[in-house]
Structure 1
Amino acid sequence: MILNTAKLVGSLFYERWKKQELTQVLVALAEENIVSQQCLDALEVQSEEGLEHSFSHLFEGLGEMPAPPWGSVYLDKDRVVFGESTVEYRAFLASHGISLDTGLREPEDQFGLTLYAFSQLLAEEKEHASQHLLEYHLLPWAFPYLDLLNEKAGNPFYSVLAVDIKAWLMRVSDELQLNIVNRKLYLD
C-alpha cells in the first residue's frame, strides 16, 4: 500500500498534471486518508493556468523558488543543488541498482523523485534500503521543506497539500518505526 501511495504522492511534486487528472489522483489519495477534503476543496477553486504557474514556480525553478524541492539545498552548507549530499544520495541509489534518469540534467534528490526511488526499493523488496532512504536521505529535510512549502507556496492548494503530505510521512515514519537521522540543516 505504501508503495503505490509513495508513487502517487511523488507524482504530485514532480509531474505536471492537468487539473482533471490531478483531481482523480487526489480523490484516490483522499479515499486512503492521505489528503484531506480541504486539499480537494483548495484544488477545486484553482484555474488550470494558476496550477501550471504555481507548479513551475514551486517545483521547476521558474523565478526565485520560495521552497526548493531538492535535499541538497537543505543539507549542504552552500545550499546548492547538485551538492555533496546529492552526490552521496546518487551513490546510495547506484549501490542499490536504481537509476533515476529522467532525460533532464537535474538532481536526483528532488522530493517527488525521492519518493519514486523509495517506491522502487519497496517494489524490489529492499526493505532495509527503503528505510535507510527515508531515515537518512529524505526525512531529515522533508519536514522542514514541507513546512516551508506550506508557509510560502502562495497557493492554497499547495499549502494544504504540504500539510497533508507531512502528516502522511509522519504516519509512515511511525508505522515503519523509523529512526530519522539528525542531520545538520541549512535553513534561512
Structure 2
Amino acid sequence: MILNTAKLVGSLFYERWTKQELAQILAALAEENVVSEPCIDALEAQSKEALEHSFSHLFEGLGDMPAPPWGSVYLDKDRVVFGDSTVEYRAFLTSHGISLDTGLREPEDQFGLTLYAFSQLLSEEKEQAAKRLLEYHQLPWALPYLDLLAEKADNPFYSVLAVDIKTWLMQVSTELQLNIVNRKLYLD
C-alpha cells in the first residue's frame, strides 16, 4: 500500500490536477487515512482559479516561492537548485537504475519526484534503497519543508495537506523503522 500511496501523494506536489481530479485523489488517500476530512473540506472551499494559482506559486516557481519544494534549497549552503545535494541524489538514483526524465530541465530532488522514486524502488523490491532514499535524501529536509509549506502557503488547502502529509511520512518512518539522518539544513 505504501507504494501506491507514495505515488498519489507525490502527484499532489508535482502534477497539475483539476479540482475534480484532486477530489478523487484525496478520496483515495482518505480511505488509507493519509489525508483528513479538514483537508477535503479545504479543497472544496477553493475555486479552480485559486488552486491553479497556488499550485504555480508553491510548486512551479511563479513569483517568490515561500517554501521551495527542492531538497537542495535546504541542504546546500548556497540554497540553490541543482546544488551538490542534487548531484549526490542523482548519483544515488543512477546507482539504483532510476532515471527521472520528466522532459524538463529540473532537479530530481523535487518533493513529489522523490516520492515517485521511492515508489519505483519499492516496486522493484529494492527496499533497502527505498529506505535510504527516505532516511538520507528526502526526510531530513522534507519534514521542515512541509512545516514551512503549512505555515507559508497562500491557500488553506495546501496548508492542511502539508500537515497531513507530514503526519503520513512520520507514520511511514515508524512503520519502516527508518533512522532519519540528521543533515545540516539551511533555513531562513
TM-score relative to the length of structure 1: 1.00
Q: Deviations over 1:167-187 (max 9, x none)?
A: 000000000000000000000
Give the Å deviation of 1:154.
Answer: 1.3
Is the aligned partner of 1:21 residue 2:26? no
- Give 3-state SS (helix, strand or coil) of 2:62's partner: coil
CA distance in 2, matches of 1:33, 1:88: 33
Match of 2:181 in 1: 181
Match of 1:84 in 2: 84
Match of 2:54 in 1: 54
Q: Deviations over 1:7-27 (max 9, x none)?
A: 000000000000001000001
Q: Which amino acid aligns with 1:123?
A: S
Give the Å deviation of 1:45.
Answer: 0.8
Is the aligned partner of 1:110 residue 2:105? no
Match of 1:96 in 2: 96
Please list every run of 5 or more consecutive structure 1 residues that lacks an aligned counterpart in the other structure.
none
Q: Deviations over 1:75-124 (max 9, x none)?
A: 00000000000000000000000000000000000000000000000000
CA distance in 2, matches of 1:32, 1:26: 10
Q: Deviations over 1:59-80 (max 9, x none)?
A: 0000000000000000000000
Match of 1:72 in 2: 72
Q: Deviations over 1:30-54 (max 9, x none)?
A: 1110000000000001111100000
CA distance in 1, matches of 2:57, 2:91: 29
- RMSD value, Cα: 0.3
The runs of 4+ residues in structure 1 deviating greater than 6 Å are none
CA distance in 1, matches of 2:99, 2:46: 34
- Give 3-state SS (helix, strand or coil) of 2:22's partner: helix
Q: Deviations over 1:112-152 (max 9, x none)?
A: 00000000000000000000000000000011000000000
Please list every run of 5 or more consecutive structure 2 residues that lacks an aligned counterpart in the other structure.
none
- Give 3-state SS (helix, strand or coil) of 2:128's partner: helix
**Alignment size in residue pairs:** 188
CA distance in 1, matches of 2:86, 2:142: 14
